[in-house]
Structure 1
Amino acid sequence: MSALFENDEPFENVISIENKCTRLNLNENIYGTFAEIGAGQETVRHFFRAKNPKGTIAKTLSAYDKDFSDAIYGLDPQHRYVTEYRLKSMLQYETKLIEKRISRIKHPNKMFFSFANTVATIDWAKKYKGHGWLGIRFQREPRQEYSEIILHVQLHENSAAHQQISLGAMGVNLIYAAYYQSDDPKLVMQHLYDHLDTGKIEIDSINFTGPIFKEVDNRLMSLHLVKNNITDAVMFSEKGNNILPANVLYKKNLLTLRGSFRPVTNLNLDMFRTSRKLFLQEKDVDKENTVIIFEMTLNNLKAEGEIDEKDFLDRADLLCASGHTVMISNFQEYYKVVEYFSQYTKAKLGLVMGVDNLEDIFNEKYYRQLSGGILEAFGKLFFKSLKVYLYPMINEETGEITTSKNLKVHPRMRELYKFFVDNNRVVDITDYNKEALKIHPRKVYDLIVEGNPEWEKMVPKLTAKMIREKNMFQKPASAKSSH
């Protein structure tokens, strides 16, 4: 298995699943319940096979029948069973029950936990690969308020039996990490993959909450999922918590703006305003069923080599404060974004881009790795109902505005380009703010670093206020002097 994280331990030094269970079982103060729905009791099975299972297992339950599950945990508002809501209901119910049934007077040093999962494995026709929610609610000190680690997984193996084995291993890894590695959430994430790899099971959402994790920013945890190739894309809401992409994207009309957002400028907001207006005018696009996503790629974040976590959080804070849903991805090419979205929706898709981005899309050098070259990429990019909303570019010396009508592409690409423009797959944004065209995001950032107040005219008022009050995008003094 290849290393997922920097400074990974060699595979042969990773503690075995059996030894993890044994260590937990022999700790007389760690005690809890296991509730596993949909994929068998794969996690608790490991604890039963290890030494002294009675030391850890208070109860194990598989409420496989839906009526039994509803009777115990209550109805999910959407009448679904493989959901975060169902998982949280299970965790909360089971911890309340163990607190009620195990005497604190008799067991003053017990640290309780509830582990739960709700999973749908691959179907017999192999049409749906399967997915699930796993979580642990636990104490690391007696009587402590509970902390939680909750994650969503996509299952990639082609048999239910293999998926169950992987889920069992990840469940053990999660419980062990909660008790012995949770001082460092990144270490937790690393060790969730002990004896596993992302080709088998993919984590696409994870949240750490509670007193142990009060200093954790879950957006950083999202970033590390993408950075370490655990998943291709993650999303977080305006509240800053990680959200499951499938829940956000499912059957929605999607409009996406890609950028570095370092910081959000008046240019970005004008692109958002004008493209949103056009997108909502499209046939069958209902405002209530439309999601607008601000996307940053890993390349957007690697402005100067490695990703700077503070710099990332500064950008994220500004986007969240403006009420936007944010996606972090490792999709360099736009067609990969469209492929990703197409897994979840057949509704309308829109990409907002500037003229320079559209020029890049029609450059053949970016598609040499594809057997079908640029034609294959365009077949994926302009899949069904996708449109590009093109924001113009100004030549500040001549005042000339470049749109789809006068954009120059390579002679070999002219007919292909003309086909998409003539068929209304590239739509010019005309209701733009001409002053916004003159804003260069990199220049705005440089002015902030230099301490030149001119940048304040180029960003929204809320953005300017937050940058000033929180000293965002400030380099250490040593870094400034080296420029």
Structure 2
Amino acid sequence: MSSVSKGDKKIDSAPSSKRKALRVNLNDNIYGTFAEIGAGQETVRNFFRAGGASGTIAKAMSAYDKDFSDAIYGIEDDQRYVTESRLKRMLTHEIHLMEDRLSRKKYQNTLFFSYANTVATIDFAKKFKGHGWVGVKFQLDPLEDYNEIILHIRFKENDAKLQQETLGTLGVNLVYGGFYLHDTPKDLLKSLYDNLDKDQIEIDMINFSGPRFAYVDNRLMSLQLVKNGMTNAVMFGPDGNNLLPAQQLYKKNILTLRGSFRPVTKVNMDIFERATELFYAEKSVDEKNTKIIFEITLSNLSAEGEINERDFLDRAELLCSLGQYVMISDFSEYYKLVEYFSEFTKKRMGLAMGVYNLVQIFDEKYYRNLSGGILEAFGKLFFKDLKIYLYPLKDAETGDTITSETLKVHPRMKELYKFFKYNGKVVDIDNYDPEILDIFSRKVFEMIKNGVEGWEKMLPEGISEIIKDERLFGYSKRKFLTKK
């Protein structure tokens, strides 16, 4: 049993913020500091009001003045204040003060913690709704190292006072979750919205670290954010750590390749390489200021019913091994994805896709929920600075290669298609490898799963070894031996 339970005085469990704060306050072993910048001291206020706060709060502070803040926490390289690095400095600085100023002889059974947030609430013009970083660094045993939960939020409310109250509720949920729900990170994640609604606040990034979270895969936590409707899209990098989409995409040229990547094949990488060459050749594209993303939709992950988390991690493992940035989104339609990117950049964007995907874009059934139908969707899609880089399809029956010149859309869509095609919005990928056009991820997946030989040659170099070594996608050496 965790030492958190020692000295925890029993009270009726209830989800309210007051009850959560009171339970923490009545635990004699929990003691820490609150440092809040940008939206008042809304989190610590809940603990003060709950009663018994003297047993929990060692210090509460708000260094609003920039010079004071810099004097306490140091100056950031980018001289910004609402950043992840600033939050981490705050958490670490406050923990060091606790350790330096409080004797372990007196507090030998005490679990130290520091809670911090650095946020910007809505501006007076109400054009920028605000965002911020929130985190907690805490012990679950006095002899253990610290655990840490860091998240990024985007405010949705149009009133600064409401945003402050929302932040205070979220902070209570985070501190409470760290101490009482750490054994079930998925439940902890969901609990962050206790007494809150998703139209009040968005959580678009979260990272768990420390000894008690050593088993937590942060990519899986990213998936949970989208699955639970806490955000529309998440990103993680080649190292598997979660990234903030807004930070990664801000004022960037963006090239996106959507697919199942189950597993990633030679065709996927050929599309990626050829589309990248065409994208970089554009005059308006700065190679040094470009972000290339492999995107998987939530609907693709749940195509067979419930989301298979192991299957998701298998795909992520391979893409990360290839050094790629991965995005998980709930944007089934491409126009929604482009709209999302447009929140962060006005620079040239590119979508790399196959013929089948382009034909689907011109299918009216996907836009029946829009009052303006397909024309409204295309206004959002093509009137941005966007180009589609089209990879050909080999017709399974005739063997012909289908390109933008020969693909067939619905008769009603012909003229619309021609308009965008001949205005340079659709560009054919010509220098493709014709020898690999009949490779499909689903075919490779079935071969791996059923123990059929020959799938290795359909994958990029080194990928088959990873699948075998880590037994991804249900690979079993025994299946192939049995087939022989």
Structure 1 residue 461: Cα displacement: 2.0
Aligned to 1:184: 184
- Which digits, 9 at most, give the CA deviation of each residue in 1:369-406, with x for residues without a partner? 10000000000011321000000111244331111111
Task: Give the alignment's Cα RMSD to 1 decimal.
Answer: 1.6
Query: Which sections of structure 2, spanning at least 5 residues, go unmatched?
Result: 1-11
Aligned to 2:138: 138
Aligned to 2:446: 446
Aligned to 1:282: 282
SS of 1:177's partner is: helix
2-side partners of 1:364 and 1:46: how far apart? 51
1-side partners of 2:14 and 2:328: how far apart? 30
Determine whether 1:402 maps to 2:402.
Answer: yes
Alignment of 1:312-331 (within 5 A): 312-331=312-331
Alignment of 1:29-428 (within 5 A): 29-428=29-428
Aligned to 1:8: none
2-side partners of 1:175 and 1:409: how far apart? 54
2-side partners of 1:32 and 1:16: how far apart? 21
Change (3 A) 1:347 1:317: same
- Which digits, 9 at most, give the CA deviation of each residue in 1:25-77, with x for residues without a partner? 11111000000000000000011112111100000110001111111111111
- Which digits, 9 at most, give the CA deviation of each residue in 1:249-268, with x for residues without a partner? 00000000000000000000
2-side partners of 1:151 and 1:202: how far apart? 10
- Which digits, 9 at most, give the CA deviation of each residue in 1:336-392, with x for residues without a partner? 000000000001100011001111111111111100000000000113210000001
Are the equivalent residues in 2 in contact too, given 1:14–1:194 (CA < 8 A)?
no
Residue 313 of structure 2 aligns with an amino acid whose one-letter code is L
SS of 2:323's partner is: coil
SS of 1:142's partner is: coil
Structure 1 residue 476: Cα displacement: 9.4
User: Is the deviation greater in 17-26 or in 27-36?
Assistant: 17-26
Are the equivalent residues in 1 in contact too, given 2:202–2:230 (CA < 8 A)?
yes
2-side partners of 1:321 and 1:384: how far apart? 32
Structure 1 residue 475: Cα displacement: 7.3
Query: Which sections of structure 1, spanning at least 5 residues, go unmatched?
Result: 1-11
Structure 1 residue 13: Cα displacement: 7.8
2-side partners of 1:195 and 1:45: how far apart? 16
2-side partners of 1:134 and 1:19: how far apart? 21
2-side partners of 1:384 and 1:178: how far apart? 43
Are the equivalent residues in 1 in contact too, given 2:14–2:20 (CA < 8 A)?
no
2-side partners of 1:258 and 1:239: how far apart? 20
Structure 1 residue 407: Cα displacement: 1.3
2-side partners of 1:336 and 1:278: how far apart? 24
TM-score of the two chains, using structure 2 as the length reference: 0.95
- Figure out how many residues of one structure are paired with residues of the other and give that number: 468
Are the equivalent residues in 2 in contact too, given 1:111–1:143 (CA < 8 A)?
no
SS of 1:255's partner is: strand
Structure 1 residue 432: Cα displacement: 0.2
1-side partners of 2:295 and 2:20: how far apart? 39
SS of 1:356's partner is: helix
2-side partners of 1:290 and 1:461: how far apart? 25
Are the equivalent residues in 2 in contact too, given 1:152–1:244 (CA < 8 A)?
yes
2-side partners of 1:396 and 1:378: how far apart? 30
SS of 2:64's partner is: coil
Aligned to 1:16: 16
Are the equivalent residues in 1 in contact too, given 2:13–2:19 (CA < 8 A)?
no
